[in-house]
Amino acid sequence: MRKILKIRKFGIHAKALAGIIIFTLLAIIAMCISGSLIFNRSVQKLYNERGYVVANIILKQIDHDKIAEYSKTWYEDDYYQEMVEYLKYIQEVSDAAYIYIGVPYEDKTIKYIYDSGSNMGFRDPIAAPFDELWEAYTKGVQPKSYLVRHSQYGYLTSSCLPVKDSKGNVVALLFVDTYMRVVQSTLQRFIINMIIIALILLGAFCLLNWHYMNSYIIDPLMVLRRNIKWFAENTTTDDSLNYIKTGDELEELAKSVQSMEQSIVEYIDNIETITAEKERISAELNVATKIQADMLPRKFPPFPERKEFDIYATMTPAKEVGGDFYDFFLIDDDHLALVMADVSGKGVPAALFMVNAKTLIKYRALMDRNFSPSAILYDVNNQLCEGNDMDLFITVWLGIIQISTGKIVAANAGHEHPAIKRKDGQFELDVYKHSPAVATMDGITFREHEFQLNPGDSLFVYTDGVPEAANEYNRLYGTNRMLKALNKNPKADAKELLETVKRDIDGFVEDSPQFDDITMLCFKYF
């Protein structure tokens, strides 16, 4: 009799499993067909629009009047070479297939002002739909459809924008091409992923069906048995009875047993829960501290092959994680960016905002070929203002140093005044008018400040945690004490200077708690 019941039970499960498999296979076929049709169009649109993003960035950077001049003279000058290097750089970082600028003619040819594979003045037949390109050139409008074409250069989709001179006349067309094989490979990966996910769901459905048939009788009884046995031996409970959701007497019995066990060990469970929660939070904060520390440059000297300067920086958070950060990186071989910033607030929210701000500043600086701190902070400010529901803001000192000359262009967004030491002199504050802090409101233009470092000069930047360090009498450390500490041994190397200031701060505050992050950076120019 048991064998017959077992066979009958297996038969029901087999029928349910077969139904799930058939339904899932039909769903896979329908999902793959409809999804591929929709996704193919979406991917084409995505790559085409990405090309327009790159094209718009290029249009903002190149001189349109010079393009107009080239379209008449077809003569390369110094600016042309700068433009070529810039366009090659953009092509490399954007993964574009081709970037070129040309003038179309009515005989359906195009004469290149710039093309990475040919010289200025080279003429080539137009493979894309000519009417749309001609309308873009004659009327100065963006083509409405996707310019997909087969040509000797491959299967491509083009993003095309007219180039207008200062008088508003269209003088050329700018093209950013993307290989269609990228679109097709993306579509292929999408279909394969859809099939894999659907197969995973099929297996999940089968397991859920088996689980459903067993969970209402056998599994609840076994869970009750194991739970009662465990409680009798250990006088502890677990949450296994919470998973009994049969909607009948078994569920009521499980609730009664659980209530009885919980009333016995409630006090012990509460103590264990509180202890475990504290340990978990402490462990997570320790990990967060290490992650934040790893994000800041900590290898010194950072550029051992560069003998033109010495640089050292430290950050001591007031809590496990902080909102201060520093950064320095080479934009190219002759330009070094220095960043010192302080996020409003402390703890995890400030640390998360700091991660976002640091990433945006570095990414935007590496993309900026004009080496303009004002332009960098303008874009970063607008991005940080988006979704800033907690109204956090960040003070930033951003300086870009031309290593070969010592010229520094800096923007100070509500940050502390830097200290500068001239050769054989002492550190003094470089005081000038600030711009507002970053992320206070969008659309802010940040003022730039230029100054010169000569061989033997030093630069010291810091956050307000240095002058605002307080002792037990609530007296602030202040910039005067800071300058005095810097000038104890102004000719010391960058690391020793920061260690001297930190020792002086520690001696001033003694055992008073640290309320703000202390971050410092010293740059010595040789």
> How do residues 173-203 score in pLDDT, each as one tens digit?
888 887 766 556 666 676 677 677 767 766 6
Per-residue pLDDT of 277-319, as tens digits, reads 777 766 666 666 666 667 889 899 999 999 999 999 998 887 6
pLDDT class of 512 with cuts at 50, 70, 90:
confident
Q: What sign does the CA torsion over 52, 57, 60, 63 have?
A: negative
Burial class (CB in 10 A: 0-12, 13-18, 19+), 453: buried
Q: What are phi and psi of 389, to 5 degrees?
A: -70, -25
d(CA 106, CA 113): 17
Boundaries of every domain in the chain = 39-184, 218-290, 307-525
More confident call, 260 vs 401: 401
Mean pLDDT of 460-465: 94
Query: What pLDDT shows up at residue 313?
Result: 96
Can you tell me whether residue 454 is helix, strand or coil?
Answer: coil
Pairing of strands 407-413, 394-402: antiparallel
Mean pLDDT of 488-503: 93
Burial class (CB in 10 A: 0-12, 13-18, 19+), 15: exposed
Query: What pLDDT shows up at residue 37?
Result: 59
The percent of residues above 70 in pLDDT, for the chain, comes to 78
Q: What sign does the CA torsion over 126, 128, 130, 136 have?
A: negative
pTM greater than 0.85: no
Q: Calculate the CA dihedral of residues 193, 198, 203, 207 and round it to 10 degrees.
A: 130
For residue 508, what are its two tokens? 């001033």
Cβ pair 109, 146 in contact under 8 A? no
Query: What pLDDT shows up at residue 154?
Result: 65
**Which has the closest alpha carbon to 262: 221, 290, 227?**
227
Work out the number of other CB atoms within 10 angstroms of the CB of residue 124.
Answer: 17
* pLDDT at residue 364 is higher than 90: yes
Query: What pLDDT shows up at residue 131?
Result: 84
Mean pLDDT of 428-442: 93
Mean pLDDT of 385-408: 93
Query: What pLDDT shows up at residue 267?
Result: 67
119 vs 99, 113, 123, 341, 438, CA distance in Å?
Answer: 14, 8, 9, 46, 44
Strand partners, 147: 158
Mean pLDDT of 327-333: 94
Query: What pLDDT shows up at residue 4?
Result: 41
Query: What pLDDT shows up at residue 202?
Result: 64
pLDDT class of 391 with cuts at 50, 70, 90:
confident
457 vs 337, 407, 422, 429, CA distance in Å?
Answer: 17, 12, 4, 13
Residue that has been written with the tokens 């750089």 in this structure:
89
SS3 string, 94-121, reads HCCCEEEEEEEECCCEEEEEEECCECCC
Query: What pLDDT shows up at residue 129?
Result: 80
Query: What pLDDT shows up at residue 316?
Result: 86
d(CA 171, CA 190): 41
Q: Calculate the CA dihedral of residues 144, 147, 148, 153 and round it to 10 degrees.
A: -170
The CATH T-level fold of domain 307-525 is Phosphatase 2c; domain 1 (3.60.40)
Per-residue pLDDT of 465-493, as tens digits, reads 999 999 988 899 999 999 999 999 988 99
SS3 string, 313-378, reads EEEECCCCCCCEEEEEEEEECCEEEEEEEEECCCHHHHHHHHHHHHHHHHHHHHHCCCCCHHHHHH
pLDDT class of 508 with cuts at 50, 70, 90:
very high
d(CA 118, CA 397): 43
d(CA 503, CA 411): 29
More confident call, 12 vs 233: 233
d(CA 417, CA 466): 12
Q: Which residues contact 507 (CB under 8 A, 6 or more apart)?
A: none
Q: What are phi and psi of 103, to 5 degrees?
A: -115, 120
Residue that has been written with the tokens 């066979």 in this structure:
7
Query: What pLDDT shows up at residue 22?
Result: 74
More confident call, 499 vs 178: 499
Q: Rg (Cα) of the chain, in Å, rounded?
A: 33
More confident call, 517 vs 181: 517
d(CA 71, CA 54): 22
Distance from the Cα of residue 110 to its chain's centroid:
39
d(CA 252, CA 174): 73
More confident call, 403 vs 17: 403
Mean pLDDT of 161-169: 90
pLDDT class of 428 with cuts at 50, 70, 90:
very high
**Which has the closest alpha carbon to 401: 498, 331, 340, 457?**
331
* pLDDT at residue 323 is higher than 80: no
Residue that has been written with the tokens 């600028």 in this structure:
101
The percent of residues above 90 in pLDDT, for the chain, comes to 34
Per-residue pLDDT of 239-257, as tens digits, reads 777 767 777 777 777 777 7
Q: Which residues contact 292 (CB under 8 A, 6 or more apart)?
A: 317, 321, 322, 351, 354, 355
Query: What pLDDT shows up at residue 7?
Result: 42
Query: What pLDDT shows up at residue 161?
Result: 87
Q: In sequence order, what E strands does 180-297 have? A: none
Question: What class is the 39-184 domain?
Answer: alpha beta
Helix %, strand %, coil % for the chain, to 5?
Answer: 50, 20, 30
Query: What pLDDT shows up at residue 251?
Result: 73
d(CA 49, CA 491): 54
Most confident of 47-51, 90-94, 107-111: 107-111
Query: What pLDDT shows up at residue 135?
Result: 87
Per-residue pLDDT of 5-49, as tens digits, reads 444 444 434 555 566 677 767 766 776 676 655 555 555 556 567
Most confident of 85-94, 155-164, 202-211, 395-404: 395-404
End-to-end CA distance of the chain: 95
* pLDDT at residue 123 is higher than 70: yes
More confident call, 271 vs 466: 466
Query: What pLDDT shows up at residue 179?
Result: 72
**Mean of all residue pLDDT scores within the chain:** 82
* pLDDT at residue 260 is higher than 50: yes
Most confident of 35-39, 154-158, 195-199, 507-511: 507-511
Query: What pLDDT shows up at residue 13?
Result: 43
Q: What are phi and psi of 524, to 5 degrees?
A: -110, 130
* pLDDT at residue 273 is higher than 70: yes
